[in-house]
Amino acid sequence: MKSKVLGFVMSTVLALGLLTGCGAGGGTEKASDTAAATETQAKTNAETNAETAATEAAASDENTTAADDKKSDGDLQVGIVLPTKDEPRWLQDQKQFETILGDAGFSNQVLFSQGSSATEKTNVETLISQGIDVLIICAQDASAAAASVEEAKAAGVTVIAYDRLITGTDAVDYYVTFNSFAVGEAQGQYLIDNAPEGKDIPLYLYAGAATDNNAFIFFEGAWSVLQPKIADGTFKIANSQEAEGLKDKAELTRDELGKIIGQVTTDWDFNVAKSKAEANLTSASAEAKGDVLILAPNDGTSRSIADVFATDKEVTKYVITGQDSEQASIQYIIDGKQSMTVFKDTRTLAADSVEMAVAILKGETPVTDVNYNNEVKDVPAKETPIVVVTKENLKEVLIDSGYYAEAEFTGL
């Protein structure tokens, strides 16, 4: 984290320490109810009670002032809501958030929605009830999350959309993301650069969830570079009639993208990806096999799809994409089972989010470098760079940088 952020954190910690030292006085003593009490004792008790009451009143005034300046020590400052525990990617993000925010001295809690928009809403409400100032949320469903962030906004919470843009609402204040269009471009370009010679090379298209705005952007980025090769007959779409019908169109509308994604969606689910790949190969002709290209949206689906294609004896070779640089996929790349992945350094993304949250807590305007339109407003955003990882550079990018340890892999 930048020095100015750390400087603020240290001063905040010191200030919190001083405020914690402010405490209320002790309880008031009761006068004796014993009938045998003397007049002197009663007078002494009365004087004591009066002094104690005055002390408590002064302490109460002091604490009221302190409470006006600061929330109670039990309140959370930053709440984070992530989509699921079932994908390694999000567990990595959880670790980064807890480490960076914890080291910086900010109270925080990470909750998982487990693929449910209803659970996501409950998570947001739970964090609001705990007094958060900033909500960092990676939406399960881009449009369904609008209601949750509107509730947070109404409670005075600043909302940062994390990695996935929340659409259809003006309650999103900021957005921190990787350049999702560039991710798709990188995947598509890798397939072009590593395609076999010839014409009508079978191309299998797969996408993320139709409820995820990023899935549209990934696919749109890939289509932008693949479409010319599809249109000129170099590539032949093997598993989507919708895409085949639009092969001559360089720029697709949202509805057109939705029709293709609806046909090739994996729903970001390993099992859905596996079933879809099996169905595609079962119905594929001999001409749609041999040496093939596969656009897989992320690492988890890439491994599932690759396993299916690897068991089909009529598939002689495949080139397959991925993203997230999950540990299991790095081993797949080493073993020649997956061709590439797009490294999105969650350390940097989480750090960018924390830096943005710190600026908000300081009452400052966070640094942004681009705007993303969410159908209602242009949301100020900060983009984090991406890197294409292959067998040739994975040691330099992932191990030498400390993201993974060499001992976590075999065959390097």
Establish if 357 belongs to a structural domain.
Answer: yes
Over range 149-176, report the average pLDDT: 97
276 and 246 within one domain: yes
CATH number of the domain bearing residue 196: 3.40.50.2300
333 and 188 within one domain: yes
> Does the pLDDT of residue 12 top 80, yes or no?
no
One-letter amino acid at 127 equals L
219 and 277 within one domain: yes
DSSP structural state of residue 265: B
DSSP characters for 173-207?
-EEEEE-HHHHHHHHHHHHHHTPPSSSSEEEEE-B
Pairing of strands 290-295, 235-237: unpaired
Terminal-to-terminal C-alpha distance of the chain: 32
Nearest to 176 by CA among 398, 347, 3: 347
Establish if 114 belongs to a structural domain.
Answer: yes
pTM to 2 decimal places: 0.75
Establish if 285 belongs to a structural domain.
Answer: yes
Band (109; pLDDT cuts 50, 70, 90): very high
Q: Residue 110, Cα to own-chain centre: how many angstroms?
A: 11
219 and 356 within one domain: no
Question: Residue 136 is inside which H or E element, if any?
Answer: strand 134-137
376 and 268 within one domain: no
Q: Which tokens belong to 26?
A: 């002790």
324 and 192 within one domain: yes
CA 111, CA 119: separation in Å to the nearest integer? 10
CA 122, CA 144: separation in Å to the nearest integer? 13
Question: For 27-70, what is each residue's pLDDT tens digit?
Answer: 333 333 333 333 444 444 444 444 444 444 443 343 333 333 33
316 and 196 within one domain: yes
CA dihedral for 266, 272, 277, 283, sign (positive or negative): negative
199 and 156 within one domain: no
Alpha helices in 335-374 (DSSP H): 346-361
Establish if 287 belongs to a structural domain.
Answer: yes
Exposed, middle or buried, 150 (CB in 10 Å: 0-12/13-18/19+)? middle
- The answer to whether residues 338 and 330 touch, using CB atoms and an 8 Å cutoff, is no
Give me the pLDDT at residue 379, please.
Answer: 98
- The answer to whether residues 195 and 201 touch, using CB atoms and an 8 Å cutoff, is yes
- The answer to whether residues 302 and 322 touch, using CB atoms and an 8 Å cutoff, is yes
- The answer to whether residues 115 and 83 touch, using CB atoms and an 8 Å cutoff, is yes
Band (236; pLDDT cuts 50, 70, 90): very high
Domain that holds residue 154: 78-172+346-384
Establish if 62 belongs to a structural domain.
Answer: no
Exposed, middle or buried, 149 (CB in 10 Å: 0-12/13-18/19+)? buried
Burial code (b: 16+ CB inside 10 Å, e: under 16) for 370-404 equals: eebebeeeebbbbbbebbbbebeebbebbbeeebb
Nearest to 276 by CA among 265, 289, 288: 265
Q: What does the mean pLDDT of the chain come to?
A: 86
218 and 126 within one domain: no
Establish if 163 belongs to a structural domain.
Answer: yes
DSSP characters for 377-396?
SEEEEEEE--EEE-TTTHII
- Provide the number of structural domains found in the chain: 2
264 and 139 within one domain: no
239 and 124 within one domain: no
Establish if 70 belongs to a structural domain.
Answer: no
220 and 92 within one domain: no
- The answer to whether residues 297 and 304 touch, using CB atoms and an 8 Å cutoff, is no
CA 89, CA 15: separation in Å to the nearest integer? 36
Percent of the chain with pLDDT over 70: 82
